[in-house]
Amino acid sequence: MADTNSAVAIAKLRAHFPGATQSTYFDTATRGLIPIEVKTAIDEQVNHRIRGDFQKPKMFELIERVRNQYATLIGADSNEIAYTKNVSEGLNTAAAGLFLKPGDNVILCPELEHPSNIYPWLNLKSRIGIEVRAIRSLNGRMPVEAMMRAVDGKTKAIACSYVTFAPGLRSDVQSLAEYCAQRDIFFVVDAAQGIGILDIDMKRTPISAMSVSTQKGLLALYGMGFLYVRARWAERLEPVYLSRFGVDLGSAHEATGGSDNYSLMPGARRFEIGNYNFLAATAVEPSLSMINSLSTATIERHVLELSERMIAGLQRLGIPIFAPEPGMHRGHMVAIGDATDNQHDSTDNPAMQSLYQHLSDNNIQLTIRRGILRVSSHFYNNNDDVDRFIDVAQHWMSAGKT
């Protein structure tokens, strides 16, 4: 159980999320709720623009504060963090920066990846002639050992989700990261699902690059993300696109004219293009502060307890849970249904579609992907949310809608 002080802190912070009481919200996998402080911060910035007293130097200070907060969250150096507009841009930036050659290969499991972590590699296959080695899932789980066995002398990268978007299991990124680090293979992680909720630390997990967005577990807006690139890898990558923020101008003004005698910014900063999404940075700052104040280790313990309570309750009802057993695959998402063949659309599973509709009709928010119901929590969820979910599911069972 979480310690008393942590439980009290979590309970107090729930009050900052009006959405947590307006519905039973288990849809962080799609987008997280935002706290009231986000609206306050956004309003303040917009008011500055309305009045005409918007000060860009203060916005650059904001950018660095947020960069530092995110670096703290994942145990990285601030120079290893670049701003992006979303997960897809970060993954494309990392993939293209490798400058792969014809015949090089990349290993991934397309069955379990979001398209955002598939198309960048297929694009390089089409444009350059690399080989994309597709490894089959292990009954809905990331096939870590099979991915390692597929490595040969031409393997330059392995791509993997930290938590799969369907069925929502946590991957063994620790083993893959250590394996790749020992062999100088670029290991790139899509951490859209899980960041800000589950604990990850770059000091102990030698991931090469990791891309995230701010609208899910980071509890902010669409339109911004972060790309982490480990320092030793960042210095080996070349940005495909280059703008003034990717060039080391020293103390010169940002509008200083360019020349062919330039140096790239240190680390991941070289990948930043043009002006920042200042509004999205303003929005994520209070959310990052909350997350860091609790720590992701504390949040992970909290959501694991919720997941355990949810799984036990649904199993008592006889509702099928995928991978219900304890283990490192367990996280903040509970998968309802059979994910052994998770390529199907929700319409292929009438029972799960019926349960999804019943839950939705009773003001419970969640999503269905590939015939699997994703029940995803954050620190704003509590035992009452879980118990209400189980009660509504029991009503569905009693009504014979299975």
Q: Please tell me the CATH code under which domain 39-292 is placed.
A: 3.40.640.10
| Maximum C-alpha span of the chain | 73
pLDDT exceeds 50 at position 1 = no
pLDDT at 255: 67
119-128, 149-158, 256-265, 385-394: segment of lowest average pLDDT:
256-265
pLDDT exceeds 70 at position 60 = yes
At residue 259 the predicted structure's pLDDT band, cuts being 50, 70 and 90, is confident
pLDDT at 250: 80
Angular region, 263: left φ>0, alpha ψ -120 to 50, beta rest: beta
Q: Mean pLDDT over residues 187-211, rounded? A: 98
Note every long-range contact of 114-120, with CB atoms under 8 Å and residues 24 or more positions apart, other chains counting: 114/87, 114/161, 114/165, 114/190, 114/192, 116/87, 116/88, 116/91, 116/190, 116/192, 117/91, 117/159, 117/160, 117/161, 117/188, 117/190, 119/88, 120/88, 120/91, 120/92, 120/95, 120/96
Write out pLDDT tens, residues 83-115. Answer: 999 999 999 999 999 999 999 999 999 999 999
At residue 342 the predicted structure's pLDDT band, cuts being 50, 70 and 90, is very low
Mean pLDDT over each residue of the chain, to the nearest integer? 94
Q: Would you list the domain boundaries of the chain?
A: 4-34+295-398, 39-292
Residue 320, preceding bond cis, omega within 30 degrees?
no
pLDDT at 344: 46
Considering the segment(s) 4-34+295-398 as one domain, its CATH architecture is: Alpha-Beta Complex (3.90)
Cα 81 to Cα 94: distance, rounded to the nearest angstrom: 12
